């Protein structure tokens, strides 16, 4: 196997490879760009015109997606998987990966779309570097651009594998891309309706890519991901990489649950209280009238929306950050 196929091993060891460029027997080029960043370019005659960005490890303890990217890269480096698309693999937060922690100083996935410019420290610098790497990779306007940012969640979820689809002014969410995710094992998709500061929101809104945050189960240490079944996603990524996807997925959107954001719960002060059990699962339904949270000055969040569910509840976030999202079922009427 080519040495650059061991990107994960190099990253965890904090080592820079001696050879920055290597070729597979069939002519695919592997090029090391920076720590945790590898560009894969097929021979020109095989290139179908898609640029595929696959990122994982934005939170360093979310290991199942990191291991998935490692398997794909090793298959390419062994010449078992033969790409017909350009690929950029990014391991987002190498320092946090080495420590087995979510982050070192601050959540890097709250530092994109320029937010890193107003912060400092390791994660702020890394967010800027990831933006530059993504912008350079997606710089050819005549090509298709697709980004999957792979995560696992802090807590358990009633819907284990789901996608967050960013928003941008003037763009409609794509029915075709949602069908592709449905075939990849996603059970639900959250169609966002406002700008955000996550990595996928940056590539979607600033770079014009089709981009998604994929939540793929519960975070566990390296080597302990037997309960996280990514077989459908891995198979679909292999099809995308080798350009062997079906022209139309018969499944379409059948079985894919769509949700829209009703409200975000923003923590304003240290007096914030979230009235939920510590072990509540994502997608738990809340009754109308339920007092969800309280904050300084008599601020109260009470459930008003029938069918409302909570995702990503976290009262420990910094003041001014999102402490949870209320979502409601949606239809597919606004899809392109």
Residues flagged as binding site for Zn(2+): 59, 62, 151
Known binding residues are: 59, 62, 151
Element (H, E) at 213: strand 210-218
Do residues 166 and 149 lie in contact, with contact meaning Cβ atoms separated by under 8 Å? Answer: no
Concerning whether 245 is annotated as a catalytic residue, the answer is no
> Per the residue annotation, which of 129, 215, 281, 305 is the catalytic one?
215
Pairing of strands 291-295, 273-274: antiparallel
Task: Give the residue among 139, 20, 128, 131 at the shortest CA–CA distance from 86.
Answer: 139
Do residues 202 and 115 lie in contact, with contact meaning Cβ atoms separated by under 8 Å? Answer: no
Name the H helices within the chain.
Answer: 7-13, 63-77, 94-99, 122-137, 175-183, 199-205, 231-242
Greatest C-alpha distance within the chain: 67
Tokens encoding 253 = 């959107």
Environment class of 294 (CB within 10 Å of its CB; exposed 0-12, middle 13-18, buried 19+):
middle
Catalytic residues: 215
């Amino acid at each position: 196997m080519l040495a650059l196929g061991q990107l994960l091993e190099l990253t965890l060891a904090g080592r820079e490879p001696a050879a920055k460029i290597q070729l597979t027997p069939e002519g695919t080029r592997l090029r090391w760009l920076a720590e945790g960043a590898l560009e894969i370019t097929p021979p020109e005659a095989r290139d179908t015109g898609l640029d595929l960005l696959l990122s994982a490890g934005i939170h360093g303890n979310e290991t199942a997606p990191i291991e998935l990217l490692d398997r794909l890269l090793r298959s390419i480096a062994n010449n078992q998987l033969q790409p017909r698309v350009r690929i950029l693999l990014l391991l987002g937060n190498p320092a946090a990966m080495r420590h087995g922690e979510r982050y070192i100083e601050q959540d890097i996935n709250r530092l994109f779309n320029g937010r890193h410019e107003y912060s400092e420290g390791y994660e702020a610098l890394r967010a800027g570097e990831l933006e530059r790497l993504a912008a350079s990779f997606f710089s050819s306007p005549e090509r298709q651009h697709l980004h999957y940012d792979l995560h696992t969640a802090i807590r358990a979820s009633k819907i284990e594998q789901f996608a967050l689809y960013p928003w941008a002014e003037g763009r409609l969410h794509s029915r075709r891309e949602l069908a592709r995710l449905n075939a990849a094992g996603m059970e639900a998709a959250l169609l966002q309706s406002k700008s955000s500061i996550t990595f996928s929101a940056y590539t979607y809104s600033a770079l014009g890519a089709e981009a998604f945050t994929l939540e793929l189960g519960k975070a566990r240490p390296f080597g302990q991901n037997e309960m996280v079944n990514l077989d459908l996603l891995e198979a679909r990524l292999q099809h995308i990489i080798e350009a062997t996807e079906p022209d139309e997925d018969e499944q379409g959107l059948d079985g894919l649950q769509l949700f829209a954001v009703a409200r975000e719960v923003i923590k304003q002060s240290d007096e914030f209280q979230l009235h939920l059990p510590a072990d509540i699962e994502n997608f738990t339904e809340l009754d109308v009238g339920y007092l969800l949270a309280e904050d300084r000055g008599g601020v109260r969040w009470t459930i008003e929306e029938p069918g409302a569910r909570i995702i990503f509840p976290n009262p420990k976030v910094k003041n001014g950050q999102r402490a949870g999202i209320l979502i409601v079922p949606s239809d597919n009427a606004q899809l392109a």
